[in-house]
Homo-oligomer: A and B are copies of this chain.
Amino acid sequence: MHTAPPIFYSYFRASAPYRVRIALALKNITYETVSVDLRQNDQHNLAYQRVNPQALVPSLHIDGQILTQSLAIIEWLEDCYPDPPLLPSSPHDRAFVRSLALTIACDIHPLNNLRVQRYLTQNFDAQPKACQSWQQHWIMLGLHSLETRLKDDLRRGDFCYGNSPGLVETCLIPQWRNAEIQGCDLGGLPILGGIVKRALALPAFIKAHPDLQPDYVPSP
Q: Is A200 an interface residue (CB 8 A)?
A: no
Q: A105 to chain B: which residues have CB within 8 Å?
A: 102, 106
Residues of chain A at the chain B interface (Cβ within 8 Å): 53-56, 63, 65, 67-69, 71-73, 75-76, 79-80, 91-92, 94-96, 98-99, 102-103, 105-107, 109-111, 116, 119-120, 123-124, 126, 130, 133-134, 137, 142, 145, 148-149
Contact B106 A119 (CB under 8 A): no
Contact A102 B71 (CB under 8 A): yes
A-B pairs with beta carbons under 8 Å apart, 23 shown = A53-B145, A53-B149, A54-B107, A54-B142, A65-B92, A65-B95, A69-B98, A69-B99, A71-B102, A72-B98, A72-B99, A72-B102, A73-B99, A75-B98, A76-B95, A79-B94, A106-B110, A107-B110, A110-B110, A119-B134, A119-B137, A123-B130, A124-B126
Residue of B nearest to A147 (CB): B53
A53, A56, A148: residue with the most chain B Cβ atoms closer than 10 Å: A53
Q: How far is the CA of A107 from the CA of B53 in the complex (A)?
A: 13
Main secondary structure on A side of the interface with B: helix
A150 to chain B, nearest CB (A): 10
Set B63, B80, B106, B124: member contacting A69, Cβ < 8 A: B106
Contact A103 B63 (CB under 8 A): no
Q: How far is the CA of A94 from the CA of B78 in the complex (A)?
A: 12
A119 to chain B, nearest CB (A): 7
Residue of B nearest to A73 (CB): B95
A82 to chain B, nearest CB (A): 11
